[in-house]
Each structure stands twice: as C-alpha cells, then as structure tokens.
C-alpha cells in the first residue's frame, strides 16, 4: 500500500518506510489507552458500500451511548413542543410522464413510473407527516428493531467483530469532507422515511459512529499516533513519531457535516436555535 507523504514530506512511501509494524494486541492497547475526547482523524476512507465515495472523517472518541440516547430523546421532546420547528428534505422519487409520484416509491415500467427526479419539501410543526415522523424517530431510539452485530470488547472503546476485524466504537461524527464523489445510484425514498431520517440526523444519536479498521484508508491519527494498515486489513504500522501537525482540528468552529446519502436525502438546518456548544458535545462523553 502506498500513501501520500505526511506533513512536509513529498512523494509516496510504503508503510514500512513511514512506520514500524505492530501486532494486533499492540494496536488494541494504543487505541484503548487513547484518552476520551480524543479526536480521531480518518484520512481518505473509502467504505465498501458507499459507491466509491472517498472522504476525510473526524470523530470524537469515548462517547457514552446512554448519554447520547438520553439527550436525543430530550431534544425530540423539545421538537414536539416547538411550534417554530420545521425541516427541509430533498428525496429521490420515481415519476410518470404526468409528473405523478410512484405510490410505492419504486420504478415501475408497466405503470410508467420510469423518470427519476428529486423533490424538496419543507415539513412544519403540526403537520401529519411531521407528527408521524417524530413518533417513528422516538420509537427507533426507545425500541430499536435492529440489535446490531455481536462484538467482543478488547479494551476501552476498541472491539473486534466475529470475523476478527477491529472497530473503534463509541464515536461521534464531528466533520466529514468528501474528497471524491461516489457513483451514487438513483434511489427513491418514501416521504415518512425521509422525514424520519432527517429528524434523526439532527439528534446526537444520528452522529453515533464506529471506525472500522479494514485498511480502506490512507492513515488514521488517534492519541497522537499515525496508524497505517495494509489494504487487506492485516498488517498494521504506527508512524515513527507522534503527529504534531494541524490535521486534528478543534471541536469548535468546524463547518457543518457534509452528508452524502445514496438515497439523496439532504437536511437543512432546523428552523430553531439548535447549535451545540463544546459543553454540549463533551456532555455525551462517558
């Protein structure tokens, strides 16, 4: 695997030239010993299911899921009572030649729903769709149907999946910058699903993430260390020196997260005062 030069170094170098090989247990220890509230930077990550998109990600390590869930439910209660609350959603739809939207949200050649389009609508407090979407968002948090995969805890914030792949869990997505757009498929989304998803993305729990150490990135910085990994996800290398550059930004002052979804859902800021302070974010830590 080749990675771009780091800091002021130019050119490309192998992992062996940039770092020293570490065992799986040494990697586990490094991540487990990184303090809570550390910033994790994943440089040029290409997820398998993200249509070829490549992006930089910044996460906050050590988030307590219980705190994030409680705060999300509290914010939902505020939304349910806030008469000024609204959300603008853009979603994909299939239309016929008369502009009618497919009632099943699916392409249907027999019925003529073959024209893909995107529509944008604003949903406001008190509307039937908004009421249903808020209720579904609450239900998904209080009684989630998907229980998730089974992980084994290896250390503080580091887990292994059944196939042995390591995951840094209990992270909050702070910032995302797309460096290469993906080839996103045309996908329609039902109205209630799109609005529910839009609301959930406005909640802390909507930014709960885990970092998969599968080698599909240039490098990761965590706890002041630069971690590189072979493309097959096996060999791991740690940089010779601690990273002291400006890759890891401050939490305050970042631009809004850029959300790119294959279902073409985009969410505007809610029409309410909802900006999070540094204290708000840190309150989610365990």
Q: Is the alpha carbon torsion for 25, 31, 34, 35 positive or negative?
A: negative
- State pLDDT tens for residues 144-201: 887 667 899 999 899 999 888 899 999 999 999 999 999 988 899 999 999 999 999 9
Q: d(Cα 213, Cα 204) in Å, to the nearest integer?
A: 23
Q: Centre a 10 Å sphere on the Cβ of residue 76 and count the other Cβ atoms it contains.
A: 21
> 224 in the Ramachandran plot: left (φ > 0), alpha (ψ -120 to 50) or beta?
left
Q: State the first-to-last Cα distance of the chain, in angstroms, to the nearest integer.
A: 36
Q: Where does the pLDDT of residue 5 fall: very low under 50, low under 70, confident under 90, or very high at 90 and above?
A: very low
Q: Is the alpha carbon torsion for 12, 14, 15, 17 positive or negative?
A: negative
Q: Centre a 10 Å sphere on the Cβ of residue 40 and count the other Cβ atoms it contains.
A: 25
- State pLDDT tens for residues 36-62: 888 899 999 998 777 889 999 999 999
Q: What φ, ψ does residue 194 adopt, rounded to 5°?
A: -65, -45
H-run or E-run covering 195: helix 191-201
* 3-class secondary structure per residue, 267-282: ECCCCCCCCCCHHHHH
Q: Helices in 116-173 by DSSP H: which ranges?
A: 128-142
Q: d(Cα 216, Cα 274) in Å, to the nearest integer?
A: 34
Residue 184 carries which DSSP code? Answer: P
> Which whole number is the average pLDDT over 57-81?
94
Mapping DSSP to helix (H, G, I), strand (E, B) and coil, where does residue 90 land? strand
């Amino acid at each position: 695997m080749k990675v771009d030069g780091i800091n002021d170094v130019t050119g490309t170098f192998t992992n062996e030239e940039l770092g020293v090989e570490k065992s799986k247990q040494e990697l586990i220890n490094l991540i487990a010993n990184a303090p809570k509230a550390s910033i994790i930077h994943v440089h040029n990550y290409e997820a398998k299911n993200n249509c070829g998109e490549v992006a930089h990600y910044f996460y906050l390590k050590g988030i307590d899921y219980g705190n994030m869930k409680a705060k999300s439910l509290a914010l939902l209660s505020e939304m349910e009572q806030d008469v000024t609350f609204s959300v603008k959603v853009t979603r994909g739809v299939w239309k016929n030649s008369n502009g009618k939207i497919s009632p099943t949200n699916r392409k249907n050649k027999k019925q003529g729903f073959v024209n893909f389009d995107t529509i944008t609508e604003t949903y406001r407090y008190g509307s039937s769709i908004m009421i249903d979407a808020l209720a579904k968002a609450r239900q998904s948090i209080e009684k989630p149907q998907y229980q998730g995969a089974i992980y084994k805890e290896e250390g503080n914030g580091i887990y292994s999946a059944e196939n042995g792949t390591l995951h840094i869990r209990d992270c909050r997505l702070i910032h995302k910058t797309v460096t290469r757009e993906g080839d996103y498929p045309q996908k329609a989304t039902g109205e209630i699903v799109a609005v529910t998803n839009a609301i959930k993305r406005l909640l802390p729990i909507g930014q709960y993430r885990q970092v998969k150490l599968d080698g599909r990135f240039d490098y990761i910085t965590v706890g002041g260390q630069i971690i590189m990994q072979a493309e097959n996800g096996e060999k791991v290398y740690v940089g010779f020196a601690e990273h002291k550059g400006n890759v890891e930004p401050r939490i305050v002052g970042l631009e809004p997260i850029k959300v790119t979804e294959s279902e073409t859902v985009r969410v505007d800021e809610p029409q309410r005062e909802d900006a999070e302070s540094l204290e708000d974010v840190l309150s989610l830590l365990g």
